[in-house]
Amino acid sequence: MPELSYREAVRDALATAMRRDDEVFVMGEDIAEMGGSMGVTQGMLDEFGPERVRNTPISEMALVGAGIGAAMQGMRPVVEVMYEDFLTLACEQIVNQAAKHRYMSGGQVKVPLTVRTQGGAGWSPGAQHAQQLEAWFVHVPGLKVVFASTPADVRGLLYTSIYDDNPVVFFEHRTLYGIKEEVPDELEPIELGKARVHREGEDVTVVATGRLVHEALRAAEEAEGEGVSVEVVDPRTLQPLDEETLVASVKKTNRCVVAHEAVTRMGFGAEVAAVLQHQAFDWLDAPIERVGARFTPLPFAPVMEEWVVPHAADVLEAIRRTVGRNGH
């Protein structure tokens, strides 16, 4: 099995879809000669040419709108929005147009649009280039929302998203681009709406997304040394959500921590906690713990940024609280 980085896995999914289907193309700011701000599309211009690897003006509303039009005409565009903070500039197109047309046309019009974007803290990008806004888009009927945390998952889920007939907002985390993992020789599509259990455990379930999946796995290793068995589950697809896998895990462990990098208030973890409280209340032996960023714009100073966003230590402390081993 070859080893791919997260960045290479994204590129492989895009290139594989484009080789197999002439209707697939990519567009975005500086994605051609420059290869994108994170180097994901590096080299693709040479293989596919400027008609299918298209640089766009600096207007997120325009490029997403063009993608919607192309999708409605039968193509399968993948639009890259350089930073997920800039999704705010395209919200009218994503929320009021892409998400609505299939429903409003009674299914006659499909919108097979994939909007790729990346964000996240960890390199002092400041308050306008590192927000985690995935919960905003989960709230919009008509959109599918994906947040992959590993190379194998990002490759399989992105390929599936491209071939979904509904608009998909596809989140990536910039600090994950360099991580590597063995992947199958042949790209294997991954069904949307299926969670991944990264680690089996008996005492507490940690439901984590994005970078926090890796922080949760580190916390689980430390907890094991303290005699606590931790199960780590990554929903992977935030909408549709694999409630069945999450509920089954909590019914087994009887405790739960939800963790993400986005701010805790109104974060995706709140929805997970609500689902689990409703469907697994009788199995819970402790309140559900939530781990997320502090409710503040992200500071530029590295030491302050480190303080604002959650890490493995925060997940471990939440694990200790829910199993009653925090010393209080």
Domain ranges of the chain: 3-182, 196-323
Q: DSSP secondary structure string, 101-144?
A: HHHHTTTSS----EEEEEE-SSS---TTS----HHHHHTSTT-E
pLDDT at 328: 37
User: In angstroms, rounded to a whole number, what is the distance separating the alpha carbons of residues 54 and 49?
Assistant: 8
- Looking from the CA of 123 toward its CB, the CA atoms found within 13 Å total 11
Q: Do domains 3-182 and 196-323 have the same CATH topology?
A: yes
pLDDT at 1: 77
- From the number of C-beta atoms within 10 Å of its C-beta (0-12, 13-18, 19+), residue 44 rates as buried
Fold adopted by 196-323:
Rossmann fold (3.40.50)
Which CATH number does the domain 3-182 belong to among 1.10.10.10, 1.10.760.10, 3.10.450.50, 3.40.50.970?
Answer: 3.40.50.970
Among the listed residues 196, 260, 211, 253, the one whose alpha carbon sits nearest the alpha carbon of residue 230: 253
pLDDT at 155: 97
Helix, strand, coil content of the chain in percent (nearest 5): 40, 20, 40
pLDDT at 326: 56
Q: Quick check: 121 and 311 in contact, CB under 8 A?
A: no
Residue 56 token pair: 């766009």
pTM of the model: 0.96
Amino acid at position 121, single letter? A
| DSSP label of 97 | I
User: In angstroms, rounded to a whole number, what is the distance separating the alpha carbons of residues 17 and 99?
Assistant: 23
Average pLDDT, the chain: 96
Q: Residue ranges of the chain with pLDDT lower than 70?
A: 325-328
Catalytic residue positions, numbered: 60, 129
